[in-house]
Amino acid sequence: MDKNINNSRRCRIGISLTVTLLTTSLWITACQNTGTSTGAGGGEGLRLGTLLPTTGDLSSIGQNMPVAAQLAVETINACGGVNGNPVTLINEDDQTDPSAGSTAMTKLAEVDRVAGVVGSFASSVSSAAVDVAVRNRVMLVSPGSTSPVFTERAQNGEFDGYWARTAPPDNYQAQALAALANKQGFKNVSTVVINNDYGVGFEKEFVEAFNKLGGNVTDKGNPVRYDPKAATLDSEAKAAFSGKPDAVAAVLYAETGSVLLRSAFEQGLSEGVTILLTDGVYSEDFVKQAGKTGDGKSVIAGALGTVPGANGQGLQDFTALWKDKTGREVPAYAPHSWDAAILMMLAAEAAGANTGEGIKSQIREVANSPGTEVTDPCKAMELVRQGEDINYQGASGNVDIDENGDVVGSYDVWRVNDDGSLEVIDTVTPAVQ
């Protein structure tokens, strides 16, 4: 039997037998390592890819995202596929690394000949991948790259419409974090960020928003930005927490960020200082990596954070499907990954073409008004096949995409409890519009 067919069959069997998130993640990794496609796709059918971090600094969140995309493809294939054929999904691990991501995106575009890609999560990886996508006329829809740089580049006409995202950009989340800091009564806040598009872009927007609210950013003139490849982060931790600010706004990735915060604790710097976190570390794995005190309490207990909320009309149905297939609660960004895949399939059907150009031409039309509001993907596909206009309402939100590929969302406020568990305790809206 042909090896690729055999691998593809194993992948399909794997997803049908998944009962826990762990086994689902292992299945995804296995499919990626073989480079084979999942789903019964033919040469004429729509080919989609995922470019997401199942390993590396963001893997604690990223490993769930291809699972959501796979569930979307399985759902659409079960109700007739796209343009009369099943959809094929090809998964690639970007390793949370721009170089690896660019290489994987090149494979997806030039070897696998996909029409669209769900990815990436890290803004630095999407920055590297989007040029490959645009050059090859492949639609790239990110479920989590939130840097404001993409808005600026889109405004400059660099993407020619081949870029969109289902998570709102950081200029909104930074404003939401500033609103949270203000709501908590913090007057003096320092910042420490990962030195890439995500961290630096977030820092810029946060400083501006917090200043407008009357707050003081103590290290505004000498911001602390850490190299994710640095051997130690002791000096960065000391610089960020020096002077005992009310809070430290820390824009981090999980693996390296946990090292920095553990260093702050071990140096005795974080006592009495509230840590403000963001979506990149919204994971209990991150809290575990940061460590515990001698009495078993998380070293970052009491930390507060923001994460793009999932409050779409389709969330209830997606949650039921996710729990049925994985046996777990819905993790961050899984709804955004689902919506990214669903939108591209609906757009290809609306265009009558399984191409990147087709998806690009119709993605805003199926996502935005006017049109019949619809949450069920199969019902949406049926309406599109009948030639009707639709306004898809996603699991993550209403996914109304503007001319720059952006959506605007709400934000959940989460807290790290003493035992290291995470709890959503509030919602917050951007401080400035």
**Residue entry with tokens 């950009």:** 169
| 300 and 419 Cβ atoms separated by less than 8 Å | no
Answer whether residue 35 shows pLDDT above 90. no
Task: Tell me the sheet residues that pair with 275.
Answer: 248
When pLDDT is cut at 50, 70 and 90, the band that residue 296 belongs to is very high
> 287: alpha, beta or left, given left = phi > 0 and alpha = psi -120 to 50?
alpha
Please tell me the distance from the alpha carbon of residue 98 to that of residue 230, in angstroms, as a whole number: 17
Model-wide pTM > 0.85: no
DSSP strand pairing (139-142 vs 116-119): parallel
Q: How many CB atoms lie within 10 A of CB 264?
A: 27
Please tell me the distance from the alpha carbon of residue 300 to that of residue 264, in angstroms, as a whole number: 10
Answer whether residue 273 shows pLDDT above 50. yes
Token representation of residue 79? 């109700």
Q: Which residue has the higher pLDDT, 146 or 118?
A: 118
Question: Which three-class secondary structure state does DSSP give residue 432?
Answer: coil
Task: At 362, give phi and psi (nearest 5°).
Answer: -125, -5
Task: Look at residue 431 in the predicted model and tell me its pLDDT.
Answer: 52
Tens of pLDDT along 309-351?
888 999 999 999 999 999 999 999 999 999 999 999 999 999 9
Please tell me the distance from the alpha carbon of residue 295 to that of residue 190, in angstroms, as a whole number: 29
Highest mean pLDDT among 18-32, 42-56, 155-169: 155-169
Task: At 398, give phi and psi (nearest 5°).
Answer: -80, -5
What domains sit in the chain, N to C, each tagged with a CATH number? 3-168+311-392 (3.40.50.2300), 171-308+410-428 (3.40.50.2300)
Query: Residues of 338-357 as b/e, b for ≥16 C-beta within 10 angstroms?
Result: bbbbbbbbbbbbbbebbbbe
What amino acid is encoded at 389 in this protein? D
**Residue entry with tokens 């130690």:** 232
- In whole angstroms, how large is the CA radius of gyration of the chain? 21
Task: At 116, give phi and psi (nearest 5°).
Answer: -150, 155
When pLDDT is cut at 50, 70 and 90, the band that residue 368 belongs to is very high
